[in-house]
């Protein structure tokens, strides 16, 4: 368990590539199950352990996952997410290099058959997707980006970066031809800032690993 933060109300764990966030009804392991087992063993908790993911990240993606340890914390954190009162920073390694060193991307996205599709404004059921990115550094024929996610649409980062001609390494679904490691994609939830559900003070969590390290 790569635990970033733990108190009586919240738990933040850094998920590796290839691991599910939550149980899927199959025999595949999940971060949530591992975290529950950790709490049960470490604190000698009898019976079932309450632990619910406030948000999920895709199996192919690494990085921070926030869990609530009480129903009150879960309700308050879910409300924060709905209200947009949090900041999510991602790192991604993409093919090529964007034309601009920093840019705001605003597109309309449609969730279509397990894939996000960029569509025109006014398309039925489409939702607006907004993010800002900046170049951290170039890595040969690839580029490391920092992404500030304003909206949390399905596969938003993957679809929007592919749309400007810079798909994420390993993301074949969105047109990438350069592989990443172990069938994963080069995307990481790097930093998360929220208000603590009890103290209401801002608190920032940062992943212990860098995305470049995970590519070794």
Please state, in angstroms and rounded to a whole number, the distance separating the CA atoms of residues 140 and 142.
5
**Residue ranges per structural domain of the chain:** 3-215
Query: What one-character DSSP code corresponds to residue 172?
Result: G
Token output for 64:
């921070």
Q: Residues 169, 95: contact at Cβ < 8 Å? A: yes
Q: Each residue of 170-196: pLDDT tens digit?
A: 999 999 999 998 889 999 999 999 999
Model-wide pTM > 0.75: yes
Q: Each residue of 35-56: pLDDT tens digit?
A: 999 999 999 988 899 999 999 9
- CATH assignment, 3-215: 3.30.2350.10
Q: pLDDT tens string for the chain (216 positions)?
A: 899 999 999 999 999 999 999 998 888 999 999 999 999 999 998 889 999 999 999 999 999 999 999 999 999 999 999 888 999 999 999 999 999 999 999 999 999 888 999 999 999 999 999 999 999 999 889 999 999 999 989 999 999 999 999 999 999 999 999 999 888 999 999 999 999 999 999 999 999 999 876 554
């Amino acid at each position: 368990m790569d635990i970033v933060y733990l108190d009586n109300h919240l738990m933040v764990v850094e998920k590796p590539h290839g691991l599910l966030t939550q149980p899927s009804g199959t025999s595949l392991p999940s971060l949530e199950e591992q975290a529950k087992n950790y709490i049960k063993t470490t604190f000698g908790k009898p019976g079932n352990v309450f632990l619910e993911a406030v948000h999920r990240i895709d199996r192919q993606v690494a990085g921070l996952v926030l869990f609530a340890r009480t129903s009150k914390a879960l309700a308050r954190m879910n409300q924060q997410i709905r209200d947009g009162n949090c900041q999510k920073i991602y790192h991604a390694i993409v093919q090529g290099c964007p034309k601009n060193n920093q840019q705001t991307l605003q597109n309309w996205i449609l969730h279509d058959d397990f894939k996000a599709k960029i569509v025109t404004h006014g398309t039925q059921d489409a939702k607006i997707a907004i993010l800002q990115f900046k170049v951290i550094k170039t890595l040969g024929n690839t580029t490391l980006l920092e992404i500030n996610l304003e909206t949390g649409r399905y596969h938003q980062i993957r679809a929007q970066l592919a749309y400007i001609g810079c798909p994420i390494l390993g993301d074949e679904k969105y047109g990438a031809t350069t592989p990443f490691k172990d069938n994963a994609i080069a995307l990481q939830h790097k930093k998360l800032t929220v208000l603590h559900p009890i103290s209401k003070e801002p608190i920032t969590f940062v992943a212990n690993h860098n995305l470049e390290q995970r590519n070794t």
